[in-house]
Structure 1
Amino acid sequence: MRLNQVTITAPDLDKAWDFYCGIGLIPIVDSRPRYIRFLCSDGGSTFSIHQGATPGSGTTVYFELDNLDERVGQLKAAGFIFTSDPEDKRWLWREAELFDPAGNRIILYFAGSNRLDPPWRV
């Protein structure tokens, strides 16, 4: 089984478009104002946004980057606001946090082999 896509809800797809293109996703469907879809640059999965008045409460999306610190620096220089800079977590991932224009929590991270094979794996 492969993950095809994650879909979230946002009230303003123009703002969402700018945000997700800005962090590096590749647009593949533009059906604004109802729906947009992006290709993740590595791995073949996709990410989509459906227009809705109320974004999903508690939504968190993780995007893994091999060059996390460098990319966060580039995004900050481009005006993106992070609520936390890259930091090593006790679960052996390095993460940085920001929020999209609809309030969805976005984690940019690097886990390497610990993504699927942490030392405590069952």
Structure 2
Amino acid sequence: MNLNQITIPSLHVEKATEFYKTLVLKLIVDALPLYVRFECPDCDATLSIHKVDKPPKGNCITIYFEDENLDTLVLNLKQKGITFISGPEDKTYLWREAHLEDPDGNHIILFYAGKNRKNPPWRVN
């Protein structure tokens, strides 16, 4: 089994579209103002955004994007006007992370974990 698609809600699909294009995702389906789909540049996964009338309750969505040049990516995105909540910083679970939010408040973590993402020292076999 392979996870290949995530869909997130948005009150303003147009604003979200520009945000994710700035994160260097490639727009592959444009059905604005109701729906868009992006392709990730380094894998086969896709991310879709669909229009909702009300946001979901609670802080329930976190999207992770991995990049082995995390610090450079964060610096480049800051130069393009993207605001970060924190990071990049090393975590006790052996990941390096930077946190931000998209225009709808969905939590995004840009990170680099390398082999520790799937094979941390405490992995259960």
Is TM (by shorter chain) over 0.5?
A: yes
Q: Counterpart in 2 of 1:54? A: 54
Q: Normalising to structure 1: TM-score of the pair?
A: 0.97
Q: Hey, what's the Cα distance between the residues in 2 that align with 1:47 and 1:62?
A: 11
Q: Say which SS state the counterpart of residue 85 (structure 2) adopts.
A: strand
Q: Say which SS state the counterpart of residue 98 (structure 2) adopts.
A: strand
Q: Deviations over 1:30-53 (max 9, x none)?
A: 101111000011121001111112
Q: Hey, what's the Cα distance between the residues in 2 that align with 1:25 and 1:74?
A: 14
Q: Counterpart in 1 of 2:23? A: 23
Q: Does the 8 Å contact 1:87/1:95 carry over to 2? A: yes
Q: Which runs of 5+ in 1 are unaligned?
A: none
Q: Say which SS state the counterpart of residue 15 (structure 1) adopts.
A: helix
Q: Hey, what's the Cα distance between the residues in 2 that align with 1:15 and 1:46?
A: 18
Q: Say which SS state the counterpart of residue 81 (structure 2) adopts.
A: coil
Match of 1:78 among 73, 77, 80: 80
Q: Hey, what's the Cα distance between the residues in 1 that align with 2:23 and 2:113?
A: 18
Q: Which runs of 5+ in 2 are unaligned?
A: none
Shift of 1:91: 0.7
Q: Hey, what's the Cα distance between the residues in 1 that align with 2:55 and 2:5?
A: 17
Q: Does the 8 Å contact 1:55/1:104 carry over to 2? A: no
Q: Normalising to structure 2: TM-score of the pair?
A: 0.94
Q: Counterpart in 2 of 1:105? A: 107
Q: Does the 8 Å contact 1:55/1:103 carry over to 2? A: no
Shift of 1:77: 0.9
Does 2:25 correspond to 1:33?
A: no
Shift of 1:72: 0.2
Q: Deviations over 1:6-30 (max 9, x none)?
A: 1000010110010000011111001
Q: Counterpart in 2 of 1:92? A: 94
Q: Hey, what's the Cα distance between the residues in 1 that align with 2:110 and 2:103?
A: 16
Q: Counterpart in 1 of 2:121? A: 119
Percent identity among equivalent residues?
52
Q: Does the 8 Å contact 1:11/1:54 carry over to 2? A: yes
